[in-house]
Structure 1
């Protein structure tokens, strides 16, 4: 909302004594060149560069910008940078607390500022996805008439959460999660720059690694944790932040987990083997270790999808759709909420009946193919959709199954080399018991009863 007297006084005090501001605020980038990560948006000539008037093209033509990405990666920061670079008036609203009334108040103020002082306004609207359709509609006149430069931020897919008229009038910028290297650079700057900690403390690698895991790709969380650990270190009369101090100040024990080393693969292996062994509690333990250590949720989701086919298969045909749905949800929502989705899928897979027949069946078939047991495709199964196919005998004598009772005809499908081979051997676990009955009846109709 519009700054009140108390906000203005607080800002004046912070300007006079920057150390009174939180470290995350003090380290907020002042130019695009100081922005951490988002290299794909910061290239010379990019829309974001042109938005602040850089480059031969001048300011971008879009009257609004939508920033889409997970929390803590710089959406608010980019809005501030744009405002400062263009010397425009900056007003911030949150869709959690603001409504149509507040939006109209800001728009009216923007029109007065433009008319009376020639000062344009940047309206930063955080979490726009929380606005209803009617509330988003109230923004359209201001965007269309360029009374404000709207910069809206969302953690949800804007194609689902933002109305089409607003989306079509906006420049959509997708922000990427920050990498450990991005955050390392940010921590180094915060440790050394005068506006940060000014070299007051040092951060050994062990403590730095734990801070990065705690941050989970969130710059604000990384700086907040660093500030707390640095304060506790100085209170002790020390100059080097220890791992123990980081653990104390953020109340998070350092999990022994290296995302690029043995722990990464050992814990992932233990998760899958616990699911395979139907120990839901052990599976949740290993899942929690991976989440707490900052593992990429997409990696966990991929492992669950593999497990659904490798260890469950037809014993529970819903397992794979559950795992796939979890992977899709994880890609859309990210952490921390993705932990709930991964827990949901892990519990479902761990408690599902187990069958590895999908694994053994394709393994046996591949072994025969690799051993040279392939052979030509039977003539009646070959493609007959071209001139001359009939003269070659291709597709001749093929029986269309839907034309016979039961839709099964006893014709040969496999090449001679593997005719009669049985690759799929169903279990009697869960839903696969039904498939076990079905496959025997089908094989009898095909003239290949069990041996």
Structure 2
């Protein structure tokens, strides 16, 4: 049996008995105009419009496409819409369960369909990044000879996860996370349309807000949660999906958190102060609240990077590189996996030794500069690399530190106005204890330059 027969059977069953299909399937867009979000891909004359023969330029032939974006943003939907709009067979495979054998079977079926009754095939391959190089190579003949229109989906950067020959033969389209506005519109359509819930239940604002938080930008998750909550409400004889019903159905408490209001700043502040106070459990609590509320993981990562310098600093010089690495990882992977990275960084920062000397040192230096204590740069430190500099006395008398024992030259570095000022006062916590010993010895050597 050809793999696409399963899809055909499911679609036939859905048409005969729509209620038997999941809400997410019933609400699947039938045209590009029904697609939620991704407006940058749906403009008139866009490559996607041309692919289905809609808009200026006419059809773009049988171009293969790679769809790159987070889960639930419509990759499968777009593949289905393309197949429907172009009247092509639609075959779906997942790289998690399929191998070269299954791919070859689909390609052979596509060749028979094209030769036997002139029907072209759209092959939707989900999670192509899970295919090895050899498995991806098996797709090349079909793509090059246009035996199939390949639409491949990936949540990982295709420049790292898809082989170059396949990438160069495909149109790369980047999908963006769905906004709350996009998902809200989808929920209201599902509530009202006959193929959805047909007006059987209503959804108040607080319940809708919780559904949006649960969804996290994932349309499939939003519709699945709505369907479950609606079923629970109807089972109780209610025509309204209350917040309590949503909570009971999805087994998650509604987080009291306004991302645009005071709670946003209060919870973020509490996270940082808990890290500063070394209370790892409180820090994880506030981190969980931010994650559950749908906070942007990049915002959380930025706060952790600031904390690494503001509250830990030289007491643990590895804290900042760890926080930066976490921010880079979060930007690459996104939720839900980013929660693990943020937890890793939060625990490490909360349990690290603490020092705010980097904060107080630059604060004191800035205060003096703003108060007018700047002064001119000492002549021997000025640039001496241009003709005539020596006549001005620039760089004259400068002692190159590497030419003296210990590489510390007893000469004045600061301007007269702040000469002798001590901005950095190290603690003896963690790794900073070493700096405390070093800085006193260095200052003692430098005192030979004018009694600092």
* TM-score above 0.5, yes or no: yes
3-state SS, counterpart of residue 394 of structure 2: coil
Structure 1 residue 4: deviation in Å? 6.5
Are the counterparts in 2 of residues 187 and 223 from structure 1 also a CA contact under 8 Å? yes
Are the counterparts in 2 of residues 443 and 450 from structure 1 also a CA contact under 8 Å? no
Structure 1 residue 56: deviation in Å? 2.3
3-state SS, counterpart of residue 355 of structure 2: coil
Distance 1:304 1:161 in 2: 29
Question: Relative to 1, partners in 2 of residues 1:4 and 1:108: Cα closer, same or farther, differing over 3 Å?
Answer: closer
Structure 1 residue 349: deviation in Å? 0.3
Structure 1 residue 241: deviation in Å? 1.0
Structure 1 residue 141: deviation in Å? 1.4
3-state SS, counterpart of residue 67 of structure 2: strand
Are the counterparts in 1 of residues 44 and 56 from structure 2 also a CA contact under 8 Å? no
Alignment coverage as a number of residue pairs: 451
Structure 1 residue 41: deviation in Å? 1.6
Are the counterparts in 1 of residues 412 and 449 from structure 2 also a CA contact under 8 Å? no
Are the counterparts in 1 of residues 305 and 323 from structure 2 also a CA contact under 8 Å? yes
Structure 1 residue 59: deviation in Å? 3.1
Structure 1 residue 275: deviation in Å? 0.6
Structure 1 residue 449: deviation in Å? 11
Q: Any stretches of 5+ residues in structure 2 without a counterpart? A: none
Question: Relative to 1, partners in 2 of residues 1:95 and 1:5: Cα closer, same or farther, differing over 3 Å?
Answer: closer
Structure 1 residue 448: deviation in Å? 7.2
Question: Relative to 1, partners in 2 of residues 1:147 and 1:404: Cα closer, same or farther, differing over 3 Å?
Answer: farther
Question: Relative to 1, partners in 2 of residues 1:150 and 1:368: Cα closer, same or farther, differing over 3 Å?
Answer: same
Distance 2:306 2:68 in 1: 30
My pick for the range that moved more, 237-246 or 350-359, is 237-246
My pick for the range that moved more, 106-115 or 124-133, is 106-115
Question: Relative to 1, partners in 2 of residues 1:375 and 1:6: Cα closer, same or farther, differing over 3 Å?
Answer: closer
3-state SS, counterpart of residue 391 of structure 1: helix
3-state SS, counterpart of residue 424 of structure 1: coil
Are the counterparts in 2 of residues 297 and 335 from structure 1 also a CA contact under 8 Å? yes
* Residue-by-residue CA offset, 1:254-313 (whole Å, 9 max, x unaligned): 111111112111111111111101111111111111112211111111111111010000
3-state SS, counterpart of residue 373 of structure 2: coil
Are the counterparts in 2 of residues 284 and 347 from structure 1 also a CA contact under 8 Å? yes
My pick for the range that moved more, 202-211 or 115-124, is 115-124
Are the counterparts in 2 of residues 62 and 170 from structure 1 also a CA contact under 8 Å? no
Distance 1:47 1:397 in 2: 67
Which residue does the alignment assign to 1:416? 416
Question: Relative to 1, partners in 2 of residues 1:415 and 1:62: Cα closer, same or farther, differing over 3 Å?
Answer: farther
Question: Relative to 1, partners in 2 of residues 1:159 and 1:50: Cα closer, same or farther, differing over 3 Å?
Answer: same
TM-score (norm 1): 0.96
Structure 1 residue 122: deviation in Å? 1.1
Distance 1:442 1:448 in 2: 12
* Residue-by-residue CA offset, 1:389-410 (whole Å, 9 max, x unaligned): 3333333333332233322212
Structure 1 residue 186: deviation in Å? 0.8
Question: Relative to 1, partners in 2 of residues 1:374 and 1:121: Cα closer, same or farther, differing over 3 Å?
Answer: same
Question: Relative to 1, partners in 2 of residues 1:270 and 1:448: Cα closer, same or farther, differing over 3 Å?
Answer: farther
* Residue-by-residue CA offset, 1:136-161 (whole Å, 9 max, x unaligned): 11111112222211111111121221
Question: Relative to 1, partners in 2 of residues 1:448 and 1:196: Cα closer, same or farther, differing over 3 Å?
Answer: farther
3-state SS, counterpart of residue 152 of structure 1: strand
Distance 2:437 2:123 in 1: 65
Question: Relative to 1, partners in 2 of residues 1:395 and 1:180: Cα closer, same or farther, differing over 3 Å?
Answer: same
My pick for the range that moved more, 402-411 or 199-208, is 402-411
Alignment of 1:51-450 (within 5 A): 51-60=51-60, 63-446=63-446, 447=448
Are the counterparts in 2 of residues 123 and 148 from structure 1 also a CA contact under 8 Å? yes
Question: Relative to 1, partners in 2 of residues 1:448 and 1:242: Cα closer, same or farther, differing over 3 Å?
Answer: farther
Structure 1 residue 50: deviation in Å? 1.9
Q: Find out whether 1:4 has 2:4 as its counterpart.
A: yes
Question: Relative to 1, partners in 2 of residues 1:183 and 1:7: Cα closer, same or farther, differing over 3 Å?
Answer: closer
3-state SS, counterpart of residue 425 of structure 1: coil
Are the counterparts in 2 of residues 225 and 250 from structure 1 also a CA contact under 8 Å? yes
Are the counterparts in 1 of residues 44 and 55 from structure 2 also a CA contact under 8 Å? yes
- 4+ runs deviating over 6 angstroms: 448-451
* Residue-by-residue CA offset, 1:2-57 (whole Å, 9 max, x unaligned): 44666544422211222221111111111112111112222222222222222322
Are the counterparts in 2 of residues 440 and 450 from structure 1 also a CA contact under 8 Å? no
RMSD: 1.9
Structure 1 residue 333: deviation in Å? 0.9
Are the counterparts in 1 of residues 411 and 449 from structure 2 also a CA contact under 8 Å? no
My pick for the range that moved more, 398-407 or 107-116, is 398-407
Question: Relative to 1, partners in 2 of residues 1:2 and 1:304: Cα closer, same or farther, differing over 3 Å?
Answer: farther
Structure 1 residue 379: deviation in Å? 2.3
Question: Relative to 1, partners in 2 of residues 1:413 and 1:47: Cα closer, same or farther, differing over 3 Å?
Answer: farther
Question: Relative to 1, partners in 2 of residues 1:5 and 1:134: Cα closer, same or farther, differing over 3 Å?
Answer: closer
My pick for the range that moved more, 349-358 or 440-449, is 440-449
Structure 1 residue 61: deviation in Å? 6.5
TM-score (norm 2): 0.95
Q: Any stretches of 5+ residues in structure 1 without a counterpart? A: none
Distance 1:83 1:4 in 2: 12
